Structure 1
């Protein structure tokens, strides 16, 4: 067994031999995490942190849950890896479980390595299915750090890596607190909705493959839309034969009180 390293040694090796995402490398000051339990994790100096972020918004049931650890051990003993073209019992079982909680009649899952890769494949799906190339997305949005997903994003971190992929058209957000159209909740005319349809008309509905939205905007501000926003997006998409995509990487799996954020508004995406 290798000897335990000090906090300084852990940080130094990470800085010297690895890159950190979305960071100025010379200014990174990472926490040397060595363990976790439940809603807490701790560093190499024994300092404990309450993990409000669930690391990358994915530890819904906390750190080191004993059932998760046991499942990992059992699967590692049985089979560590199978190629994507193979069928396995756990792949089919997980797909079936996801179908049971997915919105509406959505019943098939494409397994990817993370959110960005999932969105890259969603881009391909909607373009291949519709034969169209444009995708409507929002300025206050984040869909991942790969080339296509970053172009989908309105997040300003996309700017240094532009031009990105072609065909992405951005619209304003349903941001009631700081309305981009200058209204208050009392005077709102839902320009955040009619604006989307207007942009689709300008771009040519026959060219638009999908409207691509986060269930609830995450990284770009935790923006909760008005109650009629998602239902109206469904109506507009159906009107022009456009697919509706909900990126639930941050808002899905119970984080809004429903299995998926769109369930709060009774909407089934494509």
Structure 2
């Protein structure tokens, strides 16, 4: 009797397993979603993922073509990655940025070996927008100049500085009007107009630089291949011309 009673208590204490509909309803009720009107949010409920698939609570399998914002390129549930995370969590789960530790040392050295030219220092951040914010700060500190050139068809993040750098219309509602950001045209202008050649685009860029004042520009931020604006590949010679 006691054993059965104990088992009943244990069973009754188990949390209710939420259905997909309940998960979506609670997420919509208590959390905010980005890049969408909240009344229109209709997320997919996900229970788990493995390989190239993620699975809904009712067992539906969906191919993850986006690799979760391109950050799960090795696939979901890779045992090597899971084991590495477990080993590090058991040894040292958190450390403040003012201290030195082995993973930081090894990763910094490896990145320096892979980076081009004489770049041998890295600065670790939590995400892309933060990295771009720091890149702008560094460019301004090093050059003593304030202006940053960016392209209209670009996305550089959603923080205050990064959204100002972003050129596409998603910035309109949140643009703080950073006085130091100058947007320029890039080779692609949309389906109503042909793609400019590298020579044409570089002429536009050079004209903008001259009109803004070369001595006022700290840097030019661009995506070699524009991502969330449509995977836009620049014409041959464009990136080389920008560097020159």
TM-score, reference length from structure 2: 0.89
The corresponding residue for 1:72 is 85
**Structure 2 unmatched runs, 5+:** 1-13
**Contact 1:140/1:221 (8 A) holds in 2:** no
**Contact 2:198/2:235 (8 A) holds in 1:** no
**Contact 2:198/2:238 (8 A) holds in 1:** no
The structure 1 residue matched to 2:144, chosen from 112, 123, 131, is: 131
**Structure 1 unmatched runs, 5+:** 236-270
Quick one: distance in 1 between partners of 2:32 and 2:115? 36
The structure 2 residue matched to 1:6, chosen from 2, 10, 19, is: 19
Matched, 1:198 2:211: no
Matched, 1:88 2:101: yes
Please list the CA deviations of residues 52-80 of structure 1 after superposition, one character each: whole Å capped at 9, or x if unmatched.
10011111111111111001100110111
The answer to which of 38-47 and 132-141 deviates more is 38-47
Quick one: distance in 2 between partners of 1:92 and 1:2? 42
TM-score, reference length from structure 1: 0.81
**Contact 1:137/1:152 (8 A) holds in 2:** yes
Matched, 1:224 2:233: yes
The corresponding residue for 1:233 is 242
Pair 1:44–1:184, CA change in 2 (3 A): closer
User: What is the DSSP-based 3-state SS (H/G/I as helix, E as strand, rest coil) of the residue aligned with 1:86?
Assistant: coil
Pair 1:74–1:59, CA change in 2 (3 A): same
**Contact 2:225/2:234 (8 A) holds in 1:** yes
The answer to which of 101-110 and 144-153 deviates more is 101-110
The corresponding residue for 2:222 is 213
**Contact 1:176/1:225 (8 A) holds in 2:** no
Deviation at 1:10, TM superposition (A): 1.1
Aligned 1:56-205 pairs, distance under 5 A: 56-175=69-188, 178=191, 188=197, 190-205=199-214
Quick one: distance in 1 between partners of 2:63 and 2:90? 33
Quick one: distance in 1 between partners of 2:88 and 2:17? 28
Deviation at 1:128, TM superposition (A): 0.6
Matched, 1:31 2:44: yes
Which has more helix, going by share of residues? 2
**Contact 1:174/1:223 (8 A) holds in 2:** no
Please list the CA deviations of residues 111-156 of structure 1 after superposition, one character each: whole Å capped at 9, or x if unmatched.
1111111111111011111000001100000000000000100121
Deviation at 1:163, TM superposition (A): 3.0
RMSD value, Cα: 1.8
Quick one: distance in 2 between partners of 1:184 and 1:29? 35
User: What is the DSSP-based 3-state SS (H/G/I as helix, E as strand, rest coil) of the residue aligned with 2:222?
Assistant: strand
Aligned residues: 231
The corresponding residue for 2:5 is none
Higher relative contact order (CA 8 A, sep 6+): 1
Quick one: distance in 1 between partners of 2:190 and 2:169? 20
User: What is the DSSP-based 3-state SS (H/G/I as helix, E as strand, rest coil) of the residue aligned with 1:170?
Assistant: strand
**Contact 1:19/1:25 (8 A) holds in 2:** yes
